[in-house]
Amino acid sequence: MSSGQQVLIELRKMIISGEIPGGARMAEIPTAEMLGVSRQPVRMAFRLLEQEGLLLKNPTRGYTVREISPKLIQDALEVRGVLEGLAAKKLAEKGLTAEQHDQLMQCITRIDPIFKKPELTDADLETYHHYNTIFHNTIIHGAENIAIVQALSKNNQLPMASAQALTFDKNNPLSEIRRLHHAHIQHCAIFNALKNRDSARAESLMREHSLVVTLGDMMRSIFTPGSNSHI
């Protein structure tokens, strides 16, 4: 995984967990020093986090961390689920083209081997992120509905709404691996529904899939009574 991707994932996790609180000012040099990296990957991460709605660009210099609540994240994920679910429904009704079938199948077969190992490397996370993005984009654009694409683009500017907003908490690797593996199994089920042109199931599965971001937090809350973590 590139240093830029590592910095992006780490900063995203720190903001979502509250380790970097809402309202905090962020600048390239101190952030680079904190993470032990150069300024370039930090600069790239800042721009992407701004696009994701986690950072707000200051009028003069630097960024400010957006105030984020669990409700805001939940609302954004719910809207994403509705829109991606509709895209999956439309694609199932039309039926997969040979190219779409092969593209989705490739995503599944490229991701599957990483879960046959006891732990995930940075390269594994890069593989997951790459093919997860392709999987979602294939379905979204396959629906051939510009309104869905534009609505998702707008919603993706809210915290954690985008399918590309990958998080991985290295302090809780087991629950994170389970979460990503669960998402992979959902991909398999979604693909099967699309292949069989089962539009109702494809839509339902896709809507449920949008909430996989919160799965790790839910598991920790079950096994750690009194936990106050959010995502």
Q: Of the candidates 65, 99, 115, which is a domain's last residue? A: 65
- The DSSP bridge partners found for residue 65 are 55
77 located within any domain: yes
- Same structural domain, 108 and 8: no
Q: What is the pLDDT of residues 110-128, one digit of tens each?
A: 999 999 988 898 889 989 9
228 located within any domain: no
pLDDT-based confidence at residue 97 (cuts at 50, 70, 90): very high
32 located within any domain: yes
- pLDDT for res 18: 85
CA atoms of 30 and 193, how far apart (whole Å): 48
- In three-state form (DSSP H/G/I as H, E/B as E, the rest C), the secondary structure along 182-202 is HHHHHHHHHHHHHHCCCHHHH
107 located within any domain: yes
- Same structural domain, 198 and 88: yes
- pLDDT for res 231: 44
- Residue 56: what are its φ and ψ, rounded to 5°? -115, 130
pTM above 0.85, yes or no: no
Rounded to an integer, the average pLDDT of 95-121 is 96
- Same structural domain, 58 and 78: no
CA atoms of 176 and 120, how far apart (whole Å): 10
- Same structural domain, 120 and 208: yes
Residue 179 domain boundaries: 70-223
In the DSSP assignment, the letter for residue 35 is H
229 located within any domain: no
- Same structural domain, 139 and 201: yes
196 located within any domain: yes
231 located within any domain: no
Report how far apart, in Å, the C-alpha atoms of 119 and of each of 145, 173, 176, 179 are. Answer: 39, 8, 10, 13
- Same structural domain, 99 and 128: yes
- Same structural domain, 161 and 192: yes
- Same structural domain, 52 and 135: no
Q: What is the pLDDT of residues 156-206, one digit of tens each?
A: 888 888 888 888 888 888 888 999 999 999 999 999 999 999 999 999 999
Rounded to an integer, the average pLDDT of 48-60 is 90
- Same structural domain, 148 and 46: no
- Same structural domain, 107 and 198: yes
Q: Of the candidates 65, 83, 110, which is a domain's last residue? A: 65
- Same structural domain, 80 and 47: no
Looking at the structure of the chain, the number of domains it has is 2
- pLDDT for res 229: 45
- Same structural domain, 61 and 78: no
